[in-house]
Amino acid sequence: EVQLVESGGGLVQPGRSLKLSCLASGFTFSNYGMNWIRQAPGKGLEWVASISSSSSYIYYADTVKGRFTISRDNAKNTLYLQMTSLRSEDTALYYCARRRMDFDYWGQGVMVTVSS
């Protein structure tokens, strides 16, 4: 069974950093591109970043470019999102999703709240 479990969220002050993790199981992680997608409270879905299976190709939304870094460790079956210079508008539920172009499995999400 495919499982994606996010962790690392919490309450953080504006301007600070936070690193999210997504632990994958039930499939060969190194064969799949991955995404981070977020959802602000009461709002719709917003794609954040994607990474190819071997990390050769990385893409970011303009809203996070230069502040967020997506990465992966295929030996640990884990996807990461390093978030720096956090803003109040980054407050959201962050999901990891498998397959870069068609998001076939999603995690349960992890909440990030940016507030002083």
Partner 1 sequence: DIVMTQTPLSLSVAIGQSASISCKSSQSLKYSDGKTYLNWVFQSPGQSPKRLIYQVSKLDSGVPDRFSGTGSETDFTLKISRVEAEDLGVYYCCQGSYSPLTFGSGTKLEIK
Interacting residues toward partner 1 by CB under 8 A: 35, 37, 44-47, 50, 59, 61-62, 95, 97, 100-109
- Residue 62 Cβ vs partner 1, minimum distance, rounded to whole Å: 7
- Residue 4 Cβ vs partner 1, minimum distance, rounded to whole Å: 9
- Residue 17 Cβ vs partner 1, minimum distance, rounded to whole Å: 23
Sheet with 110-114: strands ordered across? 10-12, 110-114, 92-98, 34-39, 45-51, 58-60
Q: How many CA atoms lie within 13 A of 102 on its CB side?
A: 1
CA–CA distance from 55 to each of 11, 26, 44, 71 (Å)? Answer: 29, 20, 27, 7
14 phi/psi in degrees, rounded to 5: -55, 140
- Residue 75 Cβ vs partner 1, minimum distance, rounded to whole Å: 26
The nearer residue to partner 1, 16 or 65, going by C-beta atoms, is 65
Neighbours of 91 (CB within 10 A): 17
The nearer residue to partner 1, 59 or 82, going by C-beta atoms, is 59
The nearer residue to partner 1, 35 or 78, going by C-beta atoms, is 35
The nearer residue to partner 1, 65 or 87, going by C-beta atoms, is 65
